Amino acid sequence: MTLQRKLLRAMLGLLALAALAGVVTLFVPARDFLGRIALTLIISAITIAAALPASSRLDHERTRPAGLALLAAIVPAFLIFLLATWVGLFGFSRWEWHIAGTGAHYVACAAAALGALALARKPGNRVAGGVALLAAGVCFASGLIGIWIEVLGIGGFEIQAQFWASAWVFFWCGIIAAACLFGLGKRTAPWRWIGVAAAGAALVMGLWGIWNRLNEPPMWFLQAMFVGITTGACNVLNTLDLKGFQRYVALATMGMILATFVFATYLNITTIGFKSHDFEDDLAARLMIASSIISVCGLLAVVLFLAINRRAMATHSGAIREIANVRIICPRCAAKCDARVGTSRCNGCGLLFMLQLAEPRCVKCEYNLLDLKGDKCPECGTPIAQSTPGGQPALS
């Protein structure tokens, strides 16, 4: 039995026990204690569910670091929520929600940090990943202060709210800047720096307004955010390696994002930061909403393209990277040739060969089927006959 199936059975067992404990709490005096047991079982099941994708990554050398990082992030979250469940039983009931809030905040920031680390490993995205990682780290630290500062007696609700707001202003401005820096080493897009400058300006204005308790309409802050978001989204779409129909969809999505920016800018300026304005009968508002809906749909389509392309070919693994030549017989003149991987020419008639090697991958779970003698994927049981090299062909 594979590790994934063991974890799945454990998760189902824990959920069954949690259901049983939840029912029992309705009929016995010790409801508080049994309720905490039921919550512990549910937390354990959720933890196992989160660990399932991490365990599948441990089987492959290329994805093992990501799997280990994900597991390392899951364990603290489990311990924090476990502490929040049981700390009230020992006289610290005041801390329960603060610890639970810490756990939720940690999960959000850890997810962003893992994404940033994965981004930093991609060619040309080390700077973007580093900026996103810094944003996640500062957000976690500032949010943690905001959660606990009142409990520790250092400040009141107002300063707590200021730290909390500062955390997320820093986070979103950092994410916008990272999007503008995406693909910095791959393609030259000078206009990306407009978005970076806008994200920096939004960060400064946001923090200044938060800590100086400004009540003016945040028109310029919103405008800086609009510029940064638009630039970042268009930069990512422009940098992605998409071809044919996929590229046209990306370009159309960029056009709709720019249209949304124009309508949002018009409304932001004419309403002084979207203050006291009725949008129901405003044509610009309706056009902004329509273009934003189309933009979101276009972005989802691009994400789908990337998922399909990712499974299209596995051509850079260590098992096939060192193969430079392939012995073939020319289908036109029957001459035997040692053709290079890539583009080469027949020695007899000059026919062009375009060769690419790929690992056979399971179409369902992407398990490496190279050198496998059976007729089913050992990971998920999918028949190998359904698998093509690397899974499904890419859309073009």
In this predicted model, which residue has the larger pLDDT, 254 or 345?
254
**Please, are residues 176 and 195 in contact by the beta-carbon 8 Å criterion?**
yes
pLDDT digits (tens, 9 = 90+) for 146-166: 888 877 777 677 888 889 899
- 3-state SS assignment for residue 353: strand
Helices 126-148, 157-180: axis angle to 10 degrees equals 170
Q: In 3D, which of 38, 39, 26, 114 has the Cα closest to residue 76?
A: 114
What pLDDT is recorded for position 23?
Answer: 59
The fraction of the chain above a pLDDT of 70, given in percent, is 77
Q: In 3D, which of 95, 107, 98, 91 has the Cα closest to residue 43?
A: 107
Query: What residues form DSSP beta bridges with 353?
Result: 344
**Please, are residues 20 and 58 in contact by the beta-carbon 8 Å criterion?**
no
pLDDT digits (tens, 9 = 90+) for 129-143: 999 999 999 999 999
pLDDT digits (tens, 9 = 90+) for 84-126: 888 877 777 778 888 888 999 999 999 999 889 888 887 778 8
Rounded distance between C-alpha atoms, residue 367 and residue 370, angstroms: 9
Q: What is the average pLDDT across 322-340?
A: 81
Tell me, what DSSP letter sits at residue 280?
T
How many CB atoms neighbour CB 261 within 10 A? 22
Rounded distance between C-alpha atoms, residue 74 and residue 7, angstroms: 14
Q: Interior CA angle at 237 toward 232 and 241, to 5°? A: 135
Query: What residues form DSSP beta bridges with 344?
Result: 353
Q: What is the average pLDDT across 209-218?
A: 79
Q: Is the pLDDT of residue 3 over 80?
A: no
Judged by phi (left if over 0) then psi (alpha if -120 to 50, else beta), residue 153 lies in: left
